[in-house]
Amino acid sequence: MISTAVKKTFRYLSSFALIVSLNFALPRLMPGDPVKNLIGEDVYVSDLVIEELRAELGLNRPLLEQFLAYIQALLRFDLGYSYHLHSPVAEVLQERIGWTLLFVGVSVGLGAGLGVFLGAYAGWKPETKLSRGLSCGFILLSCTPPYFLALLFLGIFAFKLGLFPFKGFYDTLTLGSIASHLFLPVSVLALFSASRNFLILRGSVIQEKEELYALYARAKGLYEREILFRHVVKNASLPIITLLALDFGFLFSGALFIEIVFSLNGMGTLIYDAIIGKDYPVLQGAFLLIALAVLIANILADFLYAVVDPRVRRPA
């Protein structure tokens, strides 16, 4: 009998193979010619020159040959060479991914903490006015696209009030400058993440607080806070782990739009420029990196699920 670990490994490897195939196909499905885009619309060159450039970039070969060459390059850990940035894609991604991971990591952490704490309270006492107000507010936030929320924050706090910088990661490479530049984008993504965590945990706490173990804890004379955070939240937080893993790609894409709004020189602006310039190698490398991050997040979620809930480790 095939073990659960082998099944999961096969599932993740199959997902990765599908991701690699889609990663190759999606940029080539975009309208437009990367060679003509590279030359520019105002420059006239002969068809012979265009064909020579296409041959030099390897775009004149059949798609199957291009795909096999792409797979061979991946096996050598070679992500290709950027058409527009004139630099290896791996170096370009290395420069940008650190800032995006910092932005996303801080936002997801704050969103998880805020959503869990407020969601636990709202689920424990759903009849209070504060709980109802929080629920209405977070429902509104969860329905608002991240880029629109980013535009609101940018217009109010940066342009009108002038409290925060409106673009870039920093003016000078200091902790204070980085914190002031990241405050608004981190706040937007953290609030959006917190809204989803809040709604999920609130419903879970409402369900879990009626279970027998919660009633037994009350019978033992434990304080309400102890019952909530030592017992109920532990079981109610299981859906949050799944949500964070499944939503990691969604949050990452939201972060990319927020980066574009705030002109942050991270993965968001890199992908946007690559789409405009039809820079296939950069798009393939960036999409592959994001897909790997989502896969790793799901693997960590499987591990954390087994740690938090021992029942997952038991055989069926």
In the chain the domains, ranked by start, together with CATH numbers, are 91-278+293-313 (1.10.3720.10)
Which pLDDT belongs to residue 2? 53
Question: Taking Cα atoms as reference points, which of 255, 276, 279, 277 lies closest to residue 267?
Answer: 255
Long-range contacts formed by 134-141: CB under 8 A, 24+ apart: 134/198, 135/198, 135/199, 135/202, 138/194, 138/195, 138/198, 138/199, 139/195, 139/199, 141/191, 141/192, 141/194, 141/195
Which pLDDT belongs to residue 165? 84
* Residue in this structure with the two tokens 């608002």, named with its chain if needed: 144
User: How far is residue 239's CA from residue 235's CA, in Å, rounded to a whole number?
Assistant: 9
Contact status, residue 270 vs residue 92, Cβ threshold 8 Å = yes
DSSP state of 140: H
Which pLDDT belongs to residue 273? 84
Which pLDDT belongs to residue 1? 42
Q: 205-230, pLDDT tens digit by residue?
A: 888 777 777 777 777 777 777 777 77
43 φ, ψ (degrees, to nearest 5): -105, 130
* Residue in this structure with the two tokens 């490897």, named with its chain if needed: 13
Q: Which residues of the chain have pLDDT under 50?
A: 1
